[in-house]
Amino acid sequence: MANAVPMAKRTAIVTGARGQLGTDLVRVLAGMGWQVYGPGREELDFTDPDAVEREFARIRPDAVIHAGAYTAVDAAEEDYGGAFLVNAFGTRNIALEAERYGAKLVYVSTDYVFDGTGSEPYGEYDRTSPGNVYGESKLAGEKFALRLSSRTFVVRTSWVYGLGGGNFVKTMLKLAETRDTISVVNDQIGSPTYTVDLAVCIARLLETERYGIYHAAGGGQCSWYEFAQAIFRRAGLNVWLKPVTTAEFPRPARRPAYSVLGQAELTEAGLPPMRGWEDALDAFFQEREHALTPRYSKLG
C-alpha cells in the first residue's frame, strides 16, 4: 500500500500581525492548522501595490485577514490623506490580489461606520453614516473589499482590547498606578470585544463560504464608565471613578454615542454569537495573570 501523501497546509496572510488583534489571529489560525504569514509593516507596505503583488505571488495564500489599519482616530481628522491611503487604498491593493489568487478575504472594520445616533443594536445592513474621518476611511475600505473581491467577509467590531497593543483596559490599569481618581465618559454606549474571541470568530467564518457583512463584538452593552468599573473590580483596585459627559471630555474626532452591534448574520451563518463582554473580560484577566506569572526552570 502506497504511503499517503500529507495534505498541504492552507496558507493565510495576516496584515497587522503585530497588533493586538493580529497577534491573536496568528496564534488562533496556527492552532487550527493554518500556515500563517504575518508580515509587519516593514516586510509588507500594503499601500504599495507592487509590494502587495510580490508578497501574494510568493505566498499564494488561501486566505487573507486584513487587520492592518490606520487606527489613530483623532489624528485622522488632520490626516485625511494618510487615513484613506492606509484604510481605503491599502485595502484596495489587498482585495485585488486576493481576487487574483482566489483567496478568501476578511476585512476587519469598525462600529464607527455608523453615526451612533441610534438606540437599538445596529444590523449588518443598516444605513452607514460615519461621523469622523476614521469611520469614513474604514467604510471606503469596506466598499473596495466587497466590490473587488468575490470572497469577502467584512467583519465589523468595536471597543477592542487584548494583551497586545494599546487599549482602554491597559490605559485604565496604567492610570490607576498614579491616580486615585479617574474621569471616564458615561454617555457613550458600546460593546467591549476581547481579541481572542474575535480571532476565533474570524477563524470560524473562514471555514464557511457565507460571504458578506458580519458584526462581531462582545455580547451585551455598557458605557465606558461601566467598563472601567468592571476592569477595576476584576483587578482588585480601589479607584474612584468620576462619570463625565462627552461634552466635558472633548476630542478632535466625534465618537458615536451608541454603537452596539447586532449579530444576526453570525446566527444566520450557523455560528455562535460572541460571548457576553463581562465573561470575556474575566477570560482576559485570566490570560493576563497567566502571562504575568513568572516561570522558573528546575535545576539539577
What secondary structure, in 3-state letters, does 180-234 show? Answer: CEEEEECCCEECCEEHHHHHHHHHHHHCCCCCEEEECCCECCEEHHHHHHHHHHH
| Cα radius of gyration rounded to whole Å, the chain | 20
End-to-end CA distance of the chain: 48
- Residue carrying the nine cell digits 487584548: 162
Alpha-carbon separation of residue 255 from 73, 172, 215 (angstroms): 9, 19, 19
Rounded-to-10 torsion of CA 57, 32, 40, 172: 160
Distances (CA, A) of 29 to 58, 122, 169, 200, 228: 20, 28, 25, 8, 31
Residue 288's Cβ-side half-sphere holds a number of Cα atoms within 13 Å equal to 18
134 is catalytic: yes
Interaxial angle between packed helices 49-59 and 90-101, expressed in degrees from 0 to 180 and rounded to the nearest 10: 30
Catalytic residue (choose from 37, 112, 122, 134): 134
Catalytic residue positions, numbered: 134
